[in-house]
Amino acid sequence: MEQNMIDELKEHISEVEQFSANDLEAVENFRIKYLGKKGVLNHYFAAFKSIPPEQKKEFGQTINLLKTKATDQVNALKNKLESQDTRAQKYGDLTRPAESMLLGTRHPISIVKNQIIDIFSRIGFNVSEGPEIEDDWHNFTALNLPEHHPARDMQDTFFIQTNPDILLRTHTSSVQVRYMEKNKPPIRTISPGRVYRNEAISARSHCFFHQVEGLYIDRNVSFADLKQTLQFFTQELFGKSKIRLRPSYFPFTEPSAEVDVYWGLETETDYRMTKGTGWLEIMGCGMVDPNVLDNCGIDSKEYSGFAFGMGIDRIALLLHQISDIRLLSENDVRFLEQFKSAL
Give the closest residue to 211 by CA, choosing from 129, 330, 276.
129
pLDDT at res. 255: 94
108-339 maps to CATH 3.40.630.30: no
pLDDT in tens, 48-88: 777 777 777 777 788 788 788 888 888 888 888 777 655 55
Spatial distance between the Cα atoms of 145 and 304, rounded to a whole number of angstroms: 19
Q: Supply the DSSP symbol for 320.
A: T
pLDDT class for 247, splitting at 50, 70, 90? very high
259 phi/psi in degrees, rounded to 5: -110, 125
Spatial distance between the Cα atoms of 157 and 159, rounded to a whole number of angstroms: 6
- Going by DSSP bridges, is the β-strand pair 279-288/253-262 parallel, antiparallel, or unpaired? antiparallel
pLDDT in tens, 283-308: 999 999 999 999 999 999 999 999 99
Query: Within a 10 A sphere around the Cβ of 128, how many other Cβ atoms?
Result: 21
Is the pLDDT score of 327 beyond 60? Answer: yes
pLDDT class for 132, splitting at 50, 70, 90? very high
Give the closest residue to 24 by CA, choosing from 94, 70, 79.
79
pLDDT in tens, 85-100: 555 555 566 677 777 7
Name, in order, each residue with C-beta under 8 angstroms of 275's C-beta and a sequence gap of 6 or more: none
Q: Supply the DSSP symbol for 99.
A: P
pLDDT in tens, 170-229: 999 999 999 999 999 999 999 999 999 988 888 878 889 999 999 999 999 999 999 999
